[in-house]
Amino acid sequence: MSESLFSCRELTKQYGGLTAVRNVGIEIRKGELVGLIGPNGAGKTTCFNLITGADEPSAGRIRFCGSDVTNTRDFRMARLGVARTFQNIRLWREMNVLDNVRAVCRGSSQYGLLAAFLRLPRFRRGEREATNEARSLLKLLGLDGKEAELAGDLPYGDQRRLEIARALALRPRLLLLDEPAAGMNPSEKSDLMRTIQAIRAEFDLTILLIDHDMKFVMGICERIYVLDHGEEIAQGSPEEIRRNPKVIEAYLGEQA
């Protein structure tokens, strides 16, 4: 029985008069692949922001690996082992592909200023470690030929994969993927599904993902949470969700 890696309860976020997220409760056990879906504006990305510490919750509690992290903010959350990709792709566009990943790799921070200035052995060791790790991640994500290209010059699909590689460089325990399949064609999507399964196995990851493509989400997630207008309306396995009347109404309502 795997323990809960991550849980949040009564998670709420208000922006002035607007309540983006209300009383959301999510629990994820170690090793699971969980999906978070809902019509546009349901509050999914807001949840991600709250979970990663980019934003502060107005109410509710968040627990990660047994400790309360409700008030832990961005870079500390990341160092605890929570990494994410972004809906709008936030790569460092003027840096090349290798550096985007290396900037996050642990090896890069193993040496001090003096070592950097003078290229001391500690610097060389740290750099070698970071470069090796970055290269293996890039290879895993199919980007190994493109090391020297600028991140901003990559085609869209490659940029999404680079974001995943970069997030993996953090050696996270929980990986949050925000619309990883957006803008991809069906064959790219099935490649992505395979890649996500592969990295989950390889790194023993727990994954929470958001996406609009029902087929993609149903095809890969073991459990799914559904949000609508900031509230949780359903939770369960893909089959349960597919048949849930509230979910159908939420999506149909959007189409009407």
Partner 1 sequence: MTQYLLNGLGLGAIYAFIALGYTMVYGIIRLINFAHGEFFMFGAYLGYFVLRDSGIDRLDLPQPLPIVLQYLAAVTAASLGAATLAVVTERVAYRPVRRAGRIAALITAVCVSLILQNLAVKAWEAKTRSYPDPRLWIAVADLGDRAPANLWIVRPFRTTGGDEIEREELVLSEGDPVDDAARARIRGTPDARVFKKITPSTEVAQGFVLLALVLWAPVLWFLVKRTRTGTAMRAVSEDMDAARLMGIPIDRIVSRTFFLGAFVAGVGGVGYCIAYGQVSPYTGFLPGMKAFIAAVIGGIGSIPGAIVGGILLGVAESIIPHLFRSELGWRDAFAWKDAIAFAFLFAFLLFRPTGLLGRATRVKV
Partner 2 sequence: MSGELLWWLNLLVGVGIFTLLATSLNLINGHAGMFHLGHHGFWALGAYATAWWTIRLDGELSGPVLYGTSLLLSTGVAAVGGLAVGLPCLRLRGDYLAIATLAFGEVVRILIQNSDKGFLGGSQGVRLPRVFGEFEGEAAKLEFRALSLALVATLCVLAIWAISNFIRSGHGRRLLAVAQDETAAGLMGIDPTRPRVLAFVIGAAVAGLAGGVHAHFEGSLAPQEFEFMQTVKMFLIVVLGGMGSLSGCVVGAFLVVGTERLLARAGGAIADWWQVIFPMVLAIMIVVRPQGIFGRRELSDWFRALRRRRAAP
Does 90 participate in binding partner 2 (rule CB under 8 A)? yes
* Nearest alpha carbon to residue 85 among 155, 181, 195, 153: 181
Stretch 3-42: interaction string toward partner 1, x if CB under 8 A: ----------------------------------------
Rounded Cα distance, 208 and 205, in Å: 10
Does 182 participate in binding partner 1 (rule CB under 8 A)? no
Out of partner 1, partner 2, none, what residue 242 binds, judged by CB under 5 to 8 A for its kind, is: none
Spell out where the chain has E strands: 4-15, 18-29, 33-37, 59-64, 67-68, 82-84, 174-178, 206-210, 223-228, 231-236
Using the rule CB under 8 A, give the single segment among 47-55, 159-167, 186-194, 244-252 that binds partner 1: 47-55
Does 54 participate in binding partner 1 (rule CB under 8 A)? yes
Does 192 participate in binding partner 2 (rule CB under 8 A)? no
Out of partner 1, partner 2, none, what residue 175 binds, judged by CB under 5 to 8 A for its kind, is: none
Stretch 47-76: interaction string toward partner 2, x if CB under 8 A: -----xxx------------------xxx-
Are 196 and 173 in contact by the 8 Å Cβ rule? The answer is no
State the burial class of residue 28 (Cβ atoms within 10 Å of its Cβ: 0-12, 13-18, 19+).
Answer: buried
Binding residues for partner 1 (CB under 8 A): 45, 49, 54-55
